[in-house]
Structure 1
Amino acid sequence: MALLGGGFSTEDDGLLDGWVLGHVRGDRPKVCFVPTASGDAPAYVERFLDAFRARDCEPSVLSLFRRELDDAALRAFLLAQDVVYVGGGNTANLLAVWRVHGVDRLVREAYEGGTLLCGISAGANCWAEGSHTDSFGPLTYLRDGLGLLPGSVCPHYDSEPGRRDSYRAAVAGGRLPAGWAVDDGVGALFTDGRLVEVVTRAPEARLYRVRAGAGGGAEERAVGGRALRA
């Protein structure tokens, strides 16, 4: 499982996407983009296809707002993927739509079968037990994730006003469990819930471990990462 602070939707160098594909075995991996959180925005889908058609892989898109697959075909399709790449947008809406269509159960089954799950923003939030989100307008917390990654996730930690203070307050107050705060430009890889690798495409970008402190506040620890090169 990879939490991304970037990728094709925000960057043109392709470093984080290349890093993701580097963790997939075999030739021409199947990479499925799931744009549910954006309401299957056509421009977002085209940006993914433009980026991944240029790579040595087989890109595809799973649309749930114009679903064409029955339950059996949907399961077969998702379990055949090497990478499930989830886009950004509204985390709460993503989780609700996935549960209606049974995708929450299918991505868990795919993960247990060896599929690499990854995503940016809402596509990073969804895997954890809880997350820091603007799904309801103002920044707040959501304790309704899939729970494939223990703890919580906060995206855009360094780039969106109020993220850092709001997430730290949610963790310090017990509204979210301890978790991972992701700067833009970071990639964090987890295996069985354990952090195994951190990479960055920007020198100042960091991953942070955030937990409640003894004095009622939050403790934040930066985790060093390997710099990606073009």
Structure 2
Amino acid sequence: MNGTVVALGGGGFSMSDDGTSLIDDYLLELTGATKPRVCFVPTASGDSDSYSGRFEAAFAGRAETSVLSLFCQDPWGYTDPRMLLDQDLVYVGGGSTANLLALWRLHGLTEILREAASNGTVLAGISAGMNCWFEASSTDSFGPLAPLADGLGFVKGSACPHYLGEPDRREKYLSWVATGVLPDGYAVDDYAAIVMRDGSLQEAIAERPGQPVFRVERAGDEAIEHEVPVRALQR
């Protein structure tokens, strides 16, 4: 896929006590717009109104905000998803990766987002909003952690968010890559993100110190972690 994807293993406004986030600041700067048009897509959380409200509060005054509600939630109602083509940044929230993918496909978002990215819209997201861009991922959409080989495939390989931040994430992801259940991919800790451009890794960033990112690859019957250099964001 042509375009830019920023995949957050965790962090951003949704994991901030006061809504401030260096990663979110970076996303706004990445658009190159003075007052970017930013649309939040909370599908994975069932269009949680409190989640969307936190987004709007975090970006108030520095972006033209909107929310795409595929559940027709008040006060946003239903909007034609092609409105995403008019955005500088599409920010996807966390929740159920499986539910997000199913609903997006029914509403035609796959091709809309691909077109938006090719026209310069930055695609970003946290947790499920990280997983969705890849071919496969580690997800708790079905309760216990499980492999999901059903992503959009905008980025090749697999994804694992919350790598060290949640129990069993690391152990299970390594086992799935080692056995070939999931393809090679990227494991991203909380408060860190990877920036992909035209399918290739540009850099890894973090808004807190000590938050690692790994490229995980199968080698025989093992999975090997290759730590990716992480640039610490500064205020």
Alignment TM-score, normalising by the size of structure 2: 0.93
Q: How many pairs were matched up?
A: 224
Q: Cα offset for 1:229?
A: 2.1
Contact kept? 2:184, 2:217, Cα under 8 Å: yes
CA distance in 2, matches of 1:74, 1:122: 19
Runs of 5+ in structure 2 lacking a partner? none
CA distance in 2, matches of 1:202, 1:104: 32
- Which runs of 4 or more aligned residues in structure 1 lie more than 6 Å from their structure 2 counterparts after TM superposition? none
Amino acid paired to 1:61: V
Matched, 1:51 2:58: yes
Aligned letter for 1:2? V
Percent identity, aligned pairs only, is 52
1:60-75 → structure 2 map (5 Å cutoff): 60-66=66-72, 68-69=78-79, 73-75=80-82
Is the 8 Å Cα contact of residues 90 and 124 (structure 2) preserved in structure 1? yes
Show the 5 A alignment for 1:1-230: 1-4=5-8, 5-11=10-16, 12=18, 13-54=20-61, 56-66=62-72, 68-69=78-79, 73-75=80-82, 77-214=83-220, 216-230=221-235
Shift of 1:26: 2.3
Deviations 1:73-124 (A, max 9, x none): 431x110001000000000000000011111221111111111000000000
1:162 deviates by: 0.3
Deviation digits for residues 136-178 of structure 1, max 9, x if unmatched? 1111100000000010100000111000010011111111110
Amino acid in structure 2 at the alignment position of 1:223: V
Letter in 2 for 1:59: T
How much is the aligned-residue C-alpha RMSD, in angstroms? 1.1
Deviations 1:205-227 (A, max 9, x none): 0110001113x110001111111
Q: Which structure is higher in RCO with an 8 Å CA cutoff and minimum separation 6?
A: 2
The CA deviation at 1:187 is 1.9
The secondary structure found in structure 2 opposite 1:169 is: helix
Contact kept, 8 Å, 2:21 with 2:207, in 1: the verdict is no
Aligned mates of 2:141, 2:13 — CA distance in 1: 22
Deviation per CA, 1:185-212: give whole Å up to 9, x if none: 1021110111112111222101100011
Q: Secondary structure at the match of 1:22?
A: helix
C-alpha distance in structure 2 between counterparts of 1:22 and 1:158, whole Å: 28
Supply the distance in 2 between the matched residues of 1:104 and 1:169 (Cα, whole angstroms).
29
In 2, Cα distance between equivalents of 1:183 and 1:155: 6
Query: What are the superposed Cα offsets for residues 45-82 of structure 1, whole Å, 9 maximum, x if unpaired?
Result: 1000000014x21111000001523xxx431x110001
TM-score by length of 1: 0.95
Mark the runs of 5 or more structure 1 residues left unpaired by the alignment. none
Stretch moving more, 17-26 or 129-138 = 17-26
